[in-house]
Structure 1
Amino acid sequence: MSDQDEIRTPLSSPHTPAGDPAAHESALAGIACPDPAELLAAERDRLDGLLRRSNRAVRAYSACSRLIVKASDETRLLRDICRLMVETAGYRMAWVGVPLNDQQRSLVPIAQVGIEDGYLQKARISWGDNEFGRGPTGTAARTGKPIVCQDIQTDPNLLPWRDEAARRGYASSIALPLLLKDGLVGVLTVYADEPDAFEHDEFDLLVELAGTLAFGIDSLRARVARRNAEQALLDNERKLRALYESLEEGLCLHEIVYDDAGRPCDYTIIDVNPKYEKILGITRKAAAGASAKALYGAGEPPYLDIYARVAETGEPVYFETYFPPLDQHFRISAFSPQRGQVAVLFNDISKRKMAEEELKSLNETLELRVQEQTRELRAAMEAATAANRAKSAFLANMSHEIRTPMNGILGMTQLALKQELPEEVREFLLLVQRSGRSLLEIINDILDISRIEAGKVILENRPFSLRELVEATLKPLEIAAREKGLEFRCTVDPALPDLQMGDGGRLRQVLTNVAGNAVKFTERGCVAVSVAPGKAMNPQRTGLLFAVRDDGIGIPQDCLCSIFENFEQIDSPLHVKYGGTGLGLAISKGLVEMMGGVIWVESELGKGSTFSFLIELDRIEEAAAVGGKAAQARGPKPGLRVLLAEDDPINRLYATKTLQLWGHHVEAVENGQQALEALRAASFDLVLMDALMPELDGEQATRLIRSGHAGDRDVFIVAVTAYALQGDRERFLGAGMNDYMSKPFTHEELQGVLHRATAWTRRR
């Protein structure tokens, strides 16, 4: 059995060859002998059918050969082959499918004749080993062998397409793989309208046709590839010529000339581009074929050694040079397209060189100016630093010089108010006290804004009671509001923890400024303060949102942006009426921002304002906070022995009388030297040390005490000073003092110092 018979057998109907005696006898057994004339006619019909089918295969083969010779396009060739199979050879339908490597392993038609468009796409033909891939086309694509189906209606592999084939009159088919050297290009499938169509000579001719078609496609592809390559070469040549002609750089091709000893002695110009002509003023006609020595009129060819090295080694070079014969500067790139030749690209950079020289001169001038300006700037910075030091010294001196008498004024006024006095005198003293406190507030505001601007404010981080702070801060303001006939309300959200960690003093200052302004600028209606949880940017911290709403005079819209600036006041008769330094809100803004927050205002002129500020505080452990408060709540040790070093007699009298009224023993001295002598003579629980004193100041005296020059070297020393700028506290603590209290001090501040001194003595 031949290979072709093996290929056809699986998809072919059984066929009994003519002239087999055994089969013939078996077929005739038990049957009456037919008429010989009928047998002869049947045999003639059978032979005529075979001849007809062989003839159509011959026609197809012959026409295919002619098409292949004339073909110039592969897709058109395949369509023409399908057309000749139907129109010339007389087959029912023909199509060519291309296998895809998609998930379904589809066979996609690229040419078809004898069937409506779209049918083959819907037929779901595959070349995979599946239900839709076991037909002739799929099997041929998968195996690379021709496959015949002699009867579509009985072949089980054609079951998915049987009904459609019957409706279209397809009885048998042959699938012919088109095999090229590099693999399968597609499958040509042909359908006939009679069963058992593709046998014997017809089968062989169609298989040979498929081979010829595949060879033709291969040749066509080779011709197309060669034609494309030739076209690409022509295109490249045109592009290179266009590039050569349009280059913005001069281009010349040289060939190196060697002497009899094999040494380079000259080079000949082979070709130049238009830019060469424009830059050098030498025409292509004059340059081509000329030697460099003659063309450039130089003693020796320019840059011969460089060009010869490039031509011999093939290594490109790049350099800039000045060419004296033309008085021009050039940038040159040289490379070797082949051994013995060198191509040179060059640009005239004379203008650039001139610009570089001008730029160099300008840079030198600019550098001199920068150096001069740097000297001026350094002098200005030194002057600014000196001015800043002078400002700091001035503020420190002003602080000391103002706070010292203020401490005496407020302190002695407070002592006087504790005496039995006529009512009129008491009123006068209360006015003195109020005026002194107002003056102190102004002094504190000026010092605060200076410290904030200099970045010298350091916030404390201690536990405090939020509700106690709010109540203590707002109680005086509530009294002032009710005296003006205003309604005053305050609410603290119950969800807020009472114990907070932060600088309670600075928070009190901000709240006092904002709420105090609300009371000041409101003549009728209500002032309402609320405290609620706020959204902190840092999830590890607690946010507090304060809002102060009033029914006061309001703020014009064009002033809202500047209301928080230094010394800023609204320029209107209503605001001028209430006075003020214009520093309170600026200080509040600086402190709020230091606490990680923001402050803003909403207002309408004549209808009131709402000032809001959000701050962020560290979270606090409840137990630790309670313990801290309990420690603070301890009272000072009764009957403390206090050494007071103070040179100002009024402040000395005020402090002495106050401490004595509280039951403490006080010894007062006027300077640091006397303090040392007193400490050598007796033992004390506490030293209140003024910073600025004659003969020996507080810092010097403290250092001597700590070094053991005066009795108890560990005695609790408190700096009592009018120096209240940022850094003063740290300076005094650095000198060895235990605590710090600025003048003028209140009774509460003095009590706090005594508390801490008591705790110190208890730990010793």
Structure 2
Amino acid sequence: MTDPHASEEVTPSPGRGATPPTADHLFAMDPASLSPEGVAKLRDALRASQEALSRQDEQLRETRAALAETRERFADLYECAPIGFLSLDAAGGIVAANRQAAAMLGHTPETLPGQPFSRFVARADQPCLRALRDRAGRTGERQTAGIRLLRPDQTGRYVEIAATPAGRPTGPDTGRGLHIALSDLPPRRESEEALRLADGILETGPAFLLRFAVSGEEPGPVEYVSANIDRFGFSREKLISGALLPRELVHADDLPKVEAALRENAVAGNDACILDYRLRTGDGQTRYVTDHARLLRDAFGRVNAVQSLVLDVTDSALARQDLETVLDSAPIPIVKVRVTPHGDRILEYQNPAAARLFGEAALGKSCKAYLCKKETCPALSADSGVVRDRECAVTTLRGERVMYKTAHKLPDGSGIIEAMVDVTELMRTRQNLTRAMEAAEAANKAKSEFLATMSHEIRTPINGIMGMTELALQTDLTGEQREYLDLARQSALSLLDIVNDILDFSRIEAGRVELSAAPFSPRRMLGRCLRLFDTLAARHGNTLSLSVHPDVPETLIGDAGRLGQVVANLVSNGLKFTRNGDVRLCVEPDTQNEILCADPSDTPPGNRVSLLFSVIDTGIGIPAAKQDRIFEPFTQLDGSLTRGVGGTGLGLSICNNLVALMGGRLWLSSRPGKGSTFYFTTVCRKKSGAARQRPETTTARAPLPALSILLVEDNCINQLVGKRLLERRGHGVTAVDSGAAALALLAKRSFDCVLMDVEMPELNGLEALARLRDPACYGERADTPVVALTAHAVRGYREKMLAAGFDDYVSKPIDMRQLEAALRRALARPRRRGGGAGA
């Protein structure tokens, strides 16, 4: 086939007026179809194109060289620039940094890439950095701020940061990188920035910041004052404008002191000082402040400005003044002791009371010479740090004194606060009181011993009198003889009553009286009590009667013996002072008077009963002037009235005290010539169970069998009385007069029982009993029952004798019923070794 394009490739003839072919046209034509003229043209076109390309290549080489030179010049400028340049990625990490930026951050350019820039910004300026990045990213414009950089050595550097967004966000939720330029702030701007930060801090604080220039030695105008100065009553505008000078803030009385202190510190070359003074505020208030002043100097060392941080300490200053007032007016010495690192204690402060005690020269000296000689203060080692009322001897200007000290260790352990109370006189008084108490106790003991001895010495002859009288009355006598002996026995009983009154009063005075609590029948007890006075009533021609109200319970619980003692004393007095008249005892429930009880909790109110006793006589009566003193001890009526009836004057005093112990009170109503009525109340307990007591039944006891009795008695009369009384009851009696003789006899033979006097010369009853109880010496006879015979009738003596080893106890004068009961109890006791005689 024929090429379709061949017929179309027609070379125009030059003669036809066609446009000559161009170079591009020639390059597109098939070389085979070109004419020689076309080829020549093509060759010229190629040569021209080659020359043009050569010229373009030269221009390109020149452009590249210029670009390299420009890049190198830019790198030198970037690295050597006095401003730090940083590039940050969208996350805030450092991509690149020049040497100045690395130096400002304290690193090298190689170590910074990859680290977050925020790491090098002060914590207080972190919010400022975040706000800067947000503004730059949001506006796409350059943003500036002042921040403080932190270097690895923890030093700060105030810089101005200029941030320009880099490129565009890669997505809707992605940030943009930043190009950052860092430049140092000039000193004034750095100071202003610091003041701005300080102003923000001080805005809510109790202090204000003030800076003023100094020209020569005179303070100049205020250069800066924090915004919170208004809170202190001063006008910031007046201070800034110069209308109000800094010295006008200071209280007029304190201004000379403040200016003198500033001059002294300036001359001494000090850069800082602390001043305490008062401010007079715009509204007339006075505030106490502490001024932390810095003295700023020029290149020649001269003070050219003062910067003051003024702290309001009014509350603490007033509190300190109050404390100083308290300390100055405190009557007790108060000191502060400083503890040195070596453990010594130095007197650092003393209030006026302490200064009067130790002297001003004591300050600064070791307290071991004044306050305490201990090596270590107990307050330092105490867990609580407090030691109260520690008795301590101290050395003062007046010599040695005794102090009660309370020591408080300070929280940091650097010191001790001590308060002291001088108890020297108190200690002396205590010693005197102790000696007086010991003397009183010795006197009381001597008194008790005297009373015990008196009881023994009086009861011993009374026992002889009553015993011999009893023996005589058991013989054949004429009526006159029997009357005389009966009168002698009554006299002995009266003497015994006097001894008992004295002993009772002594026990009451010493507070050694205790009440018993046992069931008793008040009607039966009072009946027996009045029967004892039938003879006395008949002798004086008196009528003695008893009246008990039906509402008085049949059985009560209380001390029937003490109650009978009170009744007997009052009835006896009524009979003594009444002739051919009436003495009547009445008992009824007490409904008018308050129930008194020493310890009401012991008995529930519903189980207590108060009784009113009345002893009414028609005797001589008591004058009104005597009635107030009649219950005092050793007090009697007129001697002309009482001489015939006797007495010690203790009976009513004893009754008054006994009634008080029983929860009641004693009083009287009397008219001279008309008689007297003595009233007293007493509190008893009701017996639980049946209201009425069953009649008592008595069972006759079998008489004691004839016993072999050893009687040990050093008084020959009492020995004879005891021997005869026992022999008349069928007993065999062997009598000896000493403990040694008794032991010698017991070593040879046995007895059913031993009656041993306690008070004997040489070897007393207690010593003899102790030897007798030794089975190694006396074998089975060591268990022989022994009953103590003694004229000691004081309370507690029976228990003492039983504790010493006696089997029972009988007081003198001897009552045969009591003696037989004691013998029966002693013989019935189980023997210690199973031996011994029995009843």
Q: TM-score, normalised by structure 1?
A: 0.53
Residues 507-565 of structure 1: per-residue CA shift (max 9 Å, x gap): 32211101111111223432110233447654334544322111222223443333222
The structure where helix makes up a greater share of residues is: 1
Q: Point out the structure with max Rg over C-alpha.
A: 2
* Partner of residue 164, structure 2: none
Please tell me whether the aligned partners of residues 603 and 610 of structure 1 are also in contact (alpha carbons under 8 angstroms): yes
Residues 696-727 of structure 1: per-residue CA shift (max 9 Å, x gap): 32112223344434334444332110122233
Residues 120-164 of structure 1: per-residue CA shift (max 9 Å, x gap): xxxxxxxxxxxxxxxxxxxxxxxxxxxxxxxxxxxxxxxxxxxxx
* Partner of residue 655, structure 1: 722
Shift of 1:732: 0.8
Of 450, 473, 486, 1:394 maps to: 450
- 1:664, 1:472 → 2: CA distance? 31
Q: Structure 1 318/696 Cα, relative in aligned 2: closer, same or farther at 3 Å?
A: farther
Q: CA RMSD in A?
A: 4.5
Of 734, 738, 741, 1:671 maps to: 738
* Partner of residue 119, structure 1: none
Report matched runs for 1:159-174 at 5 Å. Answer: none
Please tell me whether the aligned partners of residues 554 and 608 of structure 1 are also in contact (alpha carbons under 8 angstroms): yes
SS in 2 for 1:555: coil
Please tell me whether the aligned partners of residues 463 and 628 of structure 1 are also in contact (alpha carbons under 8 angstroms): no
Question: Is it true that 1:551 corresponds to 2:618 in the alignment?
Answer: yes
Greater relative contact order (Cα 8 A, min sep 6): structure 1 or 2?
A: 1
Of 481, 488, 493, 1:432 maps to: 488
Shift of 1:571: 4.3
* Partner of residue 727, structure 1: 796
Report matched runs for 1:713-724 at 5 Å. Answer: 713-724=782-793
* Partner of residue 808, structure 2: 739
Worse overlay, 458-467 or 696-705 = 458-467
- 1:452, 1:259 → 2: CA distance? 91
* Partner of residue 561, structure 1: 628
Shift of 1:665: 2.4
Question: Is it true that 1:526 corresponds to 2:582 in the alignment?
Answer: yes
SS in 2 for 1:433: helix
- 1:526, 1:513 → 2: CA distance? 16
Q: TM-score, normalised by structure 2?
A: 0.49
- 1:706, 1:503 → 2: CA distance? 36
SS in 1 for 2:679: strand
Worse overlay, 534-543 or 648-657 = 534-543
- 1:390, 1:417 → 2: CA distance? 39
Question: Is it true that 1:476 corresponds to 2:476 in the alignment?
Answer: no
- 1:688, 1:448 → 2: CA distance? 27
- 1:622, 1:715 → 2: CA distance? 44
Residues 409-447 of structure 1: per-residue CA shift (max 9 Å, x gap): 111111112112344443333332222222221111111
SS in 1 for 2:532: helix
- 2:808, 2:760 → 1: CA distance? 18
- 1:286, 1:567 → 2: CA distance? 83
- 1:739, 1:626 → 2: CA distance? 31
- 1:481, 1:488 → 2: CA distance? 7
Residues 154-208 of structure 1: per-residue CA shift (max 9 Å, x gap): xxxxxxxxxxxxxxxxxxxxxxxxxxxxxxxxxxxxxxxxxxxxxxxxxxxxxxx
Question: Is it true that 1:507 corresponds to 2:563 in the alignment?
Answer: yes
Shift of 1:677: 4.1
Query: Which structure 2 residue ranges, 5 or more long, are not aligned?
Result: 1-205, 214-218, 235-247, 278-286, 291-308, 332-350, 358-397, 403-421, 598-602, 831-836
* Partner of residue 328, structure 2: 353
* Partner of residue 646, structure 1: 713
* Partner of residue 760, structure 2: 693
- 1:566, 1:379 → 2: CA distance? 28
Please tell me whether the aligned partners of residues 513 and 584 of structure 1 are also in contact (alpha carbons under 8 angstroms): yes
Residues 234-268 of structure 1: per-residue CA shift (max 9 Å, x gap): xxxxxxxxxxxxxxxxxxx98566899xxxxx9x9
SS in 2 for 1:724: coil
SS in 1 for 2:427: helix
* Partner of residue 499, structure 2: 443
- 1:697, 1:681 → 2: CA distance? 20
- 2:440, 2:545 → 1: CA distance? 48
* Partner of residue 673, structure 2: 606
SS in 2 for 1:286: coil
Of 580, 586, 600, 2:653 maps to: 586
The residue type equivalent to 1:693 in the other structure is M
Shift of 1:317: 12
SS in 1 for 2:533: helix
Report matched runs for 1:237-316 at 5 Å. Answer: 286=252, 292-294=258-260
The residue type equivalent to 2:819 in the other structure is L
SS in 2 for 1:511: helix
- 1:756, 1:318 → 2: CA distance? 95
* Partner of residue 382, structure 1: 438
Report matched runs for 1:299-378 at 5 Å. Answer: 340-343=311-314, 344-345=317-318, 347=321, 349=324, 353=328, 356=331, 359=353, 367-378=423-434
SS in 1 for 2:443: helix
* Partner of residue 547, structure 2: 491
Please tell me whether the aligned partners of residues 307 and 342 of structure 1 are also in contact (alpha carbons under 8 angstroms): no
Shift of 1:582: 0.7
* Partner of residue 406, structure 1: 462
Please tell me whether the aligned partners of residues 489 and 527 of structure 1 are also in contact (alpha carbons under 8 angstroms): yes
- 1:697, 1:620 → 2: CA distance? 45
Shift of 1:495: 4.4
Q: Structure 1 351/715 Cα, relative in aligned 2: closer, same or farther at 3 Å?
A: closer
Q: Structure 1 672/484 Cα, relative in aligned 2: closer, same or farther at 3 Å?
A: same
Report matched runs for 1:452-471 at 5 Å. Answer: 452-471=508-527
The residue type equivalent to 1:400 in the other structure is H
**Identity of counterpart residues, as a percentage?**
40
Q: Structure 1 434/258 Cα, relative in aligned 2: closer, same or farther at 3 Å?
A: farther
- 1:291, 1:627 → 2: CA distance? 104
- 1:370, 1:272 → 2: CA distance? 56
- 1:298, 1:472 → 2: CA distance? 108
* Partner of residue 235, structure 1: none
Question: Is it true that 1:419 corresponds to 2:475 in the alignment?
Answer: yes
Q: Structure 1 432/485 Cα, relative in aligned 2: closer, same or farther at 3 Å?
A: closer
Question: Is it true that 1:597 corresponds to 2:563 in the alignment?
Answer: no
Q: Structure 1 737/382 Cα, relative in aligned 2: closer, same or farther at 3 Å?
A: same
- 1:288, 1:505 → 2: CA distance? 89
The residue type equivalent to 2:803 in the other structure is G
Please tell me whether the aligned partners of residues 519 and 687 of structure 2 are also in contact (alpha carbons under 8 angstroms): yes
- 2:275, 2:625 → 1: CA distance? 76
Shift of 1:472: 2.2
Worse overlay, 391-400 or 588-597 = 588-597
* Partner of residue 64, structure 1: none
